[in-house]
Structure 1
């Protein structure tokens, strides 16, 4: 059962404020789908997804759906939720079950979650069997009639699921810890996205777990000064302990400020698609 609804604190210095109307047009004309994706694991995709969903609801006032497509189920856990049953998530794609039947309300206003379960592991094979190249895009299009923002927490894969994610997304966020392997992973992401759709969505790389005390991290930041960044911070790790987004747990922290700036950059990027 979801916890009692909590008051959404303001992030100091963020002037975006609640949105007074629906966001920029997405696939259905009433919302936008944001995919948090990387071919590399351990880069912070779930942390990004959970916190960006909170920013969407708290800072922009959007009704937001966080859709967990990773079998690890981290997004639901970060909000204190578990799937309602096993092997239900894949039924959404076969249309044996409506997404609405699995969506759960969180303890926060305007944030709902479509959690993952172990059936997600077989989703690639299921999508190949169905032969519907835009099944995810159609599902997000339908859901965007109810949600102004849909955030996809994506697994680190390069297969039919990742191809469908690209076709469904209006914007792809790529978390990149400062390392040569992450730079290589970003190149793979760009090739994966450009190879799966003729008019691919914008890609926004973000330096994650940035520690300016480290030479390699400083060099990465200096090489890409216009990329948004999220600092390495213990309060971000505490999100999983307390099962709260950083903006709620520590609204005045540098990490919360960084996620707010990232969200502002995302809203700006989506606005450019109008």
Structure 2
């Protein structure tokens, strides 16, 4: 079992789109039993997967000292892909984690879930707090989408500091150039400067994910975007195999 966090401290970088499409690749290409855990209060992952959260329990109850995630997990339209959805309650999870005083609560939950899943992906909120710290402790690999811009480069430095601050044995980081448009000079310079980073291009098919409420591989499997996510997932699997 391996855990992959899709994380950035900057919003609008395509983080949720990455998380959904990579989870789909894990389930449909690698045929691994996969859980996508949405930790962002907007529940963007659930929306993109066409899953509307049930109202029986709130997302923060998963972190309660005596409760587990079982009753909150929902099936998706893809047989080997499940979703642990988020809602507004996740906004206060930092205070809750401080209150229960368990620095590895998320890691313990992942350990429980590993009995049922081979890959767990976190769609992380763009914040630096106790939740992000616990995600770093639980992750085997951190994916950082980076649109080519000075602000994104600064955000990447903050992510590196956060990951390294999680302690010894921190997870490796895989930066990915996202929304890349080689017609733009800044984007071309970023590609030339980081030639070994994976790339996901700027593509209308990716924008259509929010319209179709499906991963791009499910409705446009031959598109450049679908191929880019498949290649990225292959790079992730290779990175995990090195551990």
Question: 2:203 corresponds to which residue?
Answer: 233
Offset, 1:160: 0.4
Question: 2:231 corresponds to which residue?
Answer: 261
Which consecutive unaligned segments of at least 5 residues does structure 1 have? 1-30
Cα deviation digits, residues 37-71 of structure 1 (max 9, x gap): 01111111100000000000111000000000000
Question: 2:10 corresponds to which residue?
Answer: 40
SS of match in other structure, 2:226: helix
CA-atom RMSD, angstroms?
A: 0.9
Question: 1:245 corresponds to which residue?
Answer: 215
Question: Is the CA contact 1:86–1:119 (under 8 Å) kept in the aligned structure 2?
Answer: no
Cα deviation digits, residues 226-263 of structure 1 (max 9, x gap): 00010000110101101110011111111000000000
Question: 1:224 corresponds to which residue?
Answer: 194
Offset, 1:98: 2.3
Write the mapping of 1:138-217 to structure 2, written as runs, cut at 5 A. Answer: 138-217=108-187
Which consecutive unaligned segments of at least 5 residues does structure 2 have? none
Write the mapping of 1:73-92 to structure 2, written as runs, cut at 5 A. Answer: 73-85=43-55, 88-92=58-62
Question: 2:100 corresponds to which residue?
Answer: 130
Structure 2 vs 1, CA of residues 211 and 86 (structure 1 numbering), >3 Å: closer, same or farther?
Answer: farther
Structure 2 vs 1, CA of residues 86 and 116 (structure 1 numbering), >3 Å: closer, same or farther?
Answer: farther
Q: State which of 86, 107, 111 in structure 2 corresponds to 1:116.
A: 86
SS of match in other structure, 2:78: coil
Runs of 4+ in structure 1 deviating by more than 4 angstroms, as ranges, are none
SS of match in other structure, 1:51: helix
Offset, 1:109: 1.5
Q: If the length of structure 1 is used for normalisation, what is the TM-score?
A: 0.87
Q: If the length of structure 2 is used for normalisation, what is the TM-score?
A: 0.98
Aligned residues: 243
Distance in 2, Cα, partners of 1:260 & 1:189: 24
Distance in 2, Cα, partners of 1:214 & 1:182: 16
